[in-house]
Amino acid sequence: MDRLLVLLGSVLAAFAVVTGVLGTAGRADGGAGPRPPAGPAPVAPPVSAEKGALAWEVLTGYEYKPGLENLPDTVKALEGTTVVVRGFLLPIVEFDDIREFCLVPNHMSCCFGMPAGIESQVHVKVKASERGLPNTNEPIEVRGVFHAVETKQQGILLSIFLVDDATARVVGY
């Protein structure tokens, strides 16, 4: 549970840093609007085309409502099935032999960009018999059992998607 609180704190800290750092000084428009991104964010390679593969669009197409209200049938159908999804590692507590982490769709959802929305994060728990991951900024692939479940601690929503009993590997670019 402490790990989930650390994750929440990390996400909130990243949001505070991003909103405080993106200043408007010296802009041609006088700082009237948001700063355009420096370039496109790296996006994870396409998921494998095997049965059970999960595209990020399936998850991010859902706008979270408390109680998972209006959860699309496409997401409901994944409950308890083995899925494969690619993305980027966002450590929660461990920074070597990482066995529990958030998977996000791109680097801009990580420590140096805008925090991902709750629909753009998948809480991953690697099975006990598997080795954990090194801390990496390269794309990774996760294979495990999918659950759409609200995880809360002390009334704070920490995640809505979980892949447990997982294996994970660095796939690189």
Q: What does the buried/exposed string (b/e) look like for 83-103 if buried means 16 or more CB atoms within 10 Å of the residue's CB?
A: bbbbbbbbbbeeeeebbbbbb
Taken in order of first residue, the domains within the chain and their CATH numbers are 2-170 (2.40.50)
- pLDDT score, position 86: 92
The predicted pLDDT at position 29 comes to 45
pLDDT reported for residue 94? 85
pLDDT at 53: 63
What are the residues whose beta carbons fall under 8 Å from the beta carbon of 86, sequence distance 6 or more? Answer: 44, 45, 46, 47, 48, 139, 140, 141, 142, 171
pTM score of the predicted model = 0.68
DSSP label at 67? G
pLDDT attached to residue 24: 35
Q: Which mean pLDDT values do the consecutive 10-residue runs of the chain (173 residues) have?
A: 46 38 39 50 43 80 92 92 92 89 80 73 93 92 95 86 95 85
Question: What was the pLDDT predicted at 111?
Answer: 57
pLDDT for residue 15: 38
Report angle CA 147, 16, 89 to the nearest 5 degrees: 40
The per-residue pLDDT for 138 is 93
